[in-house]
Amino acid sequence: MKLRAVTVLLIFAGLFVAHQPSHAQSDELKAAIDRAADEVEEQVIEWRRHFYQNPELSNREVETADYIAGFLDDLGLEIETEIAHTGVVGVLDTGNPGPVIGLRADMDALPVEDRADVPFASTATGEFRGEEVPVKHACGHDTHMAMLMGAAQILTDMQDELKGKIVFIFQPAEEGAPPGEDGGAELMVEEGLIENYNIDTVFGLHISSNTPVGQINYRPGGIMAASDSFEITVHGEQTHGSTPWTGVDPIVTSAQIIQGLQTIISRKTELTNEAAVISVGIIEGGVRNNIIPEETTFSGTIRTLDEDMQDKIHDEIRHTATTIAASMGAEAEVEITRGYPVTYNDHELTEQMLPTLLDVAGADNVEHINPITGAEDFSFFQQQVPGLYVFVGGLAEGYSPQDAPPHHTPEFKINEDGMKTGVRAHAYFVVDYLFGE
């Protein structure tokens, strides 16, 4: 009996090992990905230029969604549309048991004029805040869609060698839904994307206009900041500008509050833990130069990389505004709206995938970076399941990292040679997550 049990165990172990891809098998899959990435690169560029010339604003990505859905349908994938208004999801079911991996690309463009010197410049227009505006892919979302389409084609062609499911997520409204609307990753989560597809982990990437082509930047933990907004209304007492002592000046009070907000960062925030920023972007008040108004309103943004610091800074803003206002005989109402959470790379997943990044770009082209105070709604996915978000180099020819046109500007441009790195990264993430040891 004992000998038979041992024999059965050995047979079972042999079958188990036989079905586990070795490093050699994983390397073969990556070699196949590299060959396929070379072959699909021209098509990826063509897709990117189509999106660039046909940009659509947040929650208005109707033609973009149709184009993507048609492509995924041609691949034979299971498709769902109209998720979070215009989102598209394609599912590659390999038929073999295994985890479910999400790969995400954002779809929306910005109300920005296109002044990049490219032969396929955008002349599109759209409506934003009730006005006709020029529209441009000024943050690289066109490249994100094209790179994920390239990875989808490669992974579909090799599905017999894979296991589990890959969920290709094309997400609208990353730049924020129009006023009065909901959208983006948050709405996708609310509509059950993660639960409906049983997604175990999610990967995302962003092209970077000031990062050399072929380079990948990463960071465990908080890589991009939470983005919250605030609005403070200061109530004073209106009077003639020649006799300020007969009223309460909300403009001077607001100025003092704004100065006080900056001391929250410089004197009350432990910046050795994480970076934080408070910026005022709008001040409104008054109708004549000789009237001290009854009230003023100013608003701005709060950027944090730690949830405890985020809560503390919110409390400090309320305390600072109300007490300074009271000291000057005024009243302050503070409204703080939470926006995107911290884009937080799961430490264990990041460590697991670091060899993947090295395989994609080479040891000399993988950079551990400081956190970025910009924000990304990919963070809503990462609140549900472990996720990893990285930056891929797209520095245009003729520029240095220091003088490259920034994202969200009319001159923004990308070197299309950088997209192949993104295609390979998506596909490598899948292989190494499925078969990594």
Whether the pLDDT of residue 14 is over 70: the answer is no
CA atoms of 186 and 163, how far apart (whole Å): 28
Please say whether the dihedral angle defined by the alpha carbons of residues 186, 146, 414 and 101, taken in this order, is positive or negative.
positive
User: Where residue 22 falls among pLDDT bands split at 50, 70, 90?
Assistant: low
pTM for this entry: 0.90
For 216-248, the DSSP string reads EEE-SEEEE-EEEEEEEEEE-B-EETT-GGGSB
Give the domains, in start order, of the chain with CATH numbers: 23-225+342-435 (3.40.630.10), 226-340 (3.30.70.360)
- How confident is the model over 410-419, as a mean pLDDT? 98
Q: What is the pLDDT of residue 10?
A: 35
Catalytic one among 218, 340, 344, 389? 340
The percentage of the chain sitting over the pLDDT mark of 90, rounded to a whole number, equals 93
Tell me which residue of 229, 235, 237 sits closest to 321, measured CA to CA: 235
The pLDDT tens digits for 131-163 are 999 999 999 999 999 999 999 999 999 999 999
**Hey, what are 185's tokens?**
């990753």
> For residue 15, what are the CA distances in angstroms to 1, 8, 10, 21?
21, 11, 9, 12
- How confident is the model over 253-275, as a mean pLDDT? 96
For 148-202, the DSSP string reads HHHHHHHHHHTGGG--SEEEEEEE--TT-PPTT---HHHHHHHTTHHHHHT--EE
Catalytic one among 56, 416, 428, 433? 416
- How confident is the model over 277-288, as a mean pLDDT? 97
The percentage of the chain sitting over the pLDDT mark of 70, rounded to a whole number, equals 95
**Averaged confidence pLDDT in the chain:** 94
Classify strands 387-393 and 201-208 as parallel, antiparallel or unpaired.
Answer: parallel
Verify whether residue 340 is a known catalytic residue.
Answer: yes
Whether the pLDDT of residue 60 is over 50: the answer is yes
Q: What is the pLDDT of residue 437?
A: 54
The pLDDT tens digits for 220-252 are 999 999 999 999 999 999 999 999 999 999 999
With left for phi above 0 and alpha for psi between -120 and 50, is residue 140 left, alpha or beta? Answer: left
The pLDDT tens digits for 180-215 are 999 999 999 999 999 999 999 999 999 999 999 999
Q: What is the pLDDT of residue 4?
A: 39
User: Where residue 18 falls among pLDDT bands split at 50, 70, 90?
Assistant: very low
Q: What is the pLDDT of residue 25?
A: 73
